[in-house]
Structure 1
Amino acid sequence: MLTQQVRRKQSIPDGEITQEPFSIFIETKRGNNFDEGQLLRHLENLKQKQGAKVLIALANYEQDEPNDPAFSNVKNTAEVDKILFLPISFEDFIESIKLESLPKNLADAINDLEEYFNE
């Protein structure tokens, strides 16, 4: 199930992908200024889910390695709670989903998304 901006007990992730046995929360920023409290609340909500859990911090990072000050405590908390925390740039995200074997309509959708991100 894919949802957008659904209120959870303590937070509202920008996107959520859930299918037993995994849950993925996505928090997106136009820049790279994440709020530590918001990310920690997402982790708290993910903790209640079953199976593999992932929190993606998707943003327009200017340096090679996303290193927002909010990430230090979030990374530690995620590790303790067995949640994978992935800060990733829009560019790296697009590159990771571009696969040669995709159907044309899906490849076209990814290209459209890439154009949107570039704007």
Structure 2
Amino acid sequence: MYLIADKFPLQSFKDVKEFWIEKFNFLYTDTDFKEKLIGSTNEEFIVLVTRRIEKQHNLESERRNTEVLIEFVDKFSENTNHDVAKWQSGSISKKEVIKNLDIRLKHLTNFIQHSGFGNIDKSE
């Protein structure tokens, strides 16, 4: 015990526990998940925790991608309205409006494809 305390102070154990509780709170609050851990071997425990962390990561990524998509569409609409107003005032040509719209549509399409919105989720 002396060697452990010398190399890895007990305060560090507390810090590690606090880190897990702060960053991975979903592992502690999901009672169904905690019940699955009861009686698991070390290997099963690692697999279950890893899968739960991956699931949470995927949920948070999907949530963030949705927020970004909404912001993207809002900005897309705002920029398109701005271009149309400039065209109506004679500042830019209709051809420029269409070119800008095409560029924004390509960016939107690329985002949708790379963020997973273009994929069908069979669980829904």
Bin of the TM-score, shorter chain as denominator length? under 0.3
Q: Which has the higher helix share?
A: 2
TM-score (norm 2): 0.19
TM-score (norm 1): 0.20
Indicate the structure (1 or 2) with the bigger Cα radius of gyration: 2
Q: Which has the higher strand share?
A: 1
Task: Say which structure, 1 or 2, has more relative contact order (CA 8 Å, 6+ apart).
Answer: 1
